[in-house]
């Protein structure tokens, strides 16, 4: 399969069921708003989960996406095939936005609403709101500084108290608590890494040999036992 064929197969999964019109010498543009709404409903109905499944997933988490198309820029300027692809691309954009922040779920379209209303600039638009539901009903990922808080990290907690480990695993730890915990962690690691001093062995008492009188008198360092004379001034 060539790269172009692979790209064509992957392109616009939401609108792939809409058959492209056969080649003809004339392109038929959509001029009526009801025709735009009809094709919009057709694309969405092909993607919505069955009512039975929706009832089973009633308590699953959901997200809502929305988009709009201005009628002056749409009527008479798109064919059925182009319009179907525009709708599919909009649905893909909504899904990617949800998957970017909550990638741990399997998101399906469960409901939608279409209406023609005026926007803030009083321009008449086709407005679309779509509800996506998580088939796996995974818990919401919470972020701190752009990083998910639910992360699986294996840490050797040897030497740490149970209270310290419990707070480290907590999701609601403020900066002050974190600083105290880091200090305890550093202190524990330092104490574990410090080499234990080897106990000093008690020195043995020095044994003094008793010399006899002859050896003492023969010591060459003792030359004269007579004291020095002491004089007193009058």
DSSP letters along the chain, please?
--HHHHHHHHS-TTSTTSPPPPP-SS------HHHHHHHHHHHHHTTBPPHHHHHHTTTS-EEEEEEEEEGGGTTTT--HHHHHHHHHHHHHHHHHHHHHH-TTS-EEEEEEEEEEEE-TT--EEEEEEEEEEESS-PPPPPEETTEES--------TT--HHHHHHHH-S---HHHHHHHHHHHHHHHHHHHSPPPPPPPPPPPPP-PPPPHHHHHT-TT----SPPP-----
Phi and psi at 228, nearest 5°, equal: -70, 145
User: What are residue 178's DSSP bridge partners?
Assistant: none
Query: Residue written as tokens 């692979």?
Result: 6
Same domain for 19 and 93: yes
Separation between Cα atoms, residue 134 and residue 64, nearest integer Å: 12
Question: Cα 164 to the chain's mean position, in Å?
Answer: 23
In a domain, 93, yes or no: yes
Same domain for 174 and 66: no
pLDDT at 145: 84
Query: Residue written as tokens 């480990």?
Result: 165
pTM of the model: 0.59
In a domain, 77, yes or no: yes
pLDDT at 56: 96
Same domain for 171 and 68: no
Torsion of CA 164, 167, 168, 172, to 10 degrees: -160
In a domain, 142, yes or no: no
120 in Cβ contact with 112 (< 8 Å): no
Separation between Cα atoms, residue 149 and residue 99, nearest integer Å: 17
Same domain for 174 and 117: no
Same domain for 166 and 79: no
Q: Would you give per-residue pLDDT tens digits along the chain (234 residues)?
A: 777 777 666 665 665 555 555 555 577 999 999 999 999 999 999 999 999 999 999 999 999 999 999 999 999 999 999 999 999 999 999 999 999 999 999 999 999 999 999 998 899 999 999 999 999 999 999 988 888 875 555 556 566 666 666 665 664 545 566 667 777 777 776 666 555 555 555 555 555 555 555 554 455 554 454 455 555 454
In a domain, 110, yes or no: yes
- For residue 129, the enclosing domain spans 7-134
Same domain for 108 and 19: yes
Same domain for 81 and 51: yes
pLDDT at 118: 93
Residue ending a domain, choose from 102, 134, 166: 134
Same domain for 59 and 158: no
150 in Cβ contact with 87 (< 8 Å): no
In a domain, 202, yes or no: no
pLDDT at 216: 45
Q: How many domains is the chain partitioned into structurally?
A: 2
Same domain for 163 and 76: no
Same domain for 24 and 123: yes
Which CATH number covers residue 75? Answer: 3.90.470
Same domain for 59 and 167: no
Give me the sign of the Cα torsion angle 183, 184, 187, 193.
negative
């Amino acid at each position: 399969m060539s790269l172009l064929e692979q790209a064509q197969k992957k392109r616009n999964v939401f609108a792939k069921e809409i058959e492209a019109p056969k080649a003809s010498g004339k392109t038929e543009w959509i001029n009526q708003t009801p025709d735009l709404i009809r094709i919009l409903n057709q694309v969405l109905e092909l993607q919505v989960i069955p009512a039975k499944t929706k009832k089973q997933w009633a308590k699953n988490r959901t997200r809502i996406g929305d988009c709009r198309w201005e009628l002056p820029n749409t009527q008479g300027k798109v064919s059925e095939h182009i319009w179907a692809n525009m709708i599919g691309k909009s649905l893909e954009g909504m899904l990617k936005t949800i998957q970017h922040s909550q990638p741990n779920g399997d998101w399906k379209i469960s409901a939608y609403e279409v209406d023609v209303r005026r926007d803030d600039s009083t321009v008449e638009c086709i407005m679309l709101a779509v509800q996506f539901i998580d088939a796996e009903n995974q818990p919401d990922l919470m972020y701190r500084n752009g990083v998910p808080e639910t992360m699986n990290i294996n840490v050797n907690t040897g030497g740490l108290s149970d209270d310290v480990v419990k707070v480290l695993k907590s999701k609601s730890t403020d900066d002050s608590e974190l600083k105290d915990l880091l200090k305890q962690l550093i202190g524990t690691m330092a104490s574990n890494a410090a080499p234990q001093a080897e106990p000093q062995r008690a020195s043995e008492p020095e044994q003094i040999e008793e010399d006899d009188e002859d050896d003492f008198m023969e010591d060459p360092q003792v030359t004269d036992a007579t004291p020095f004379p002491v004089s007193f001034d009058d």
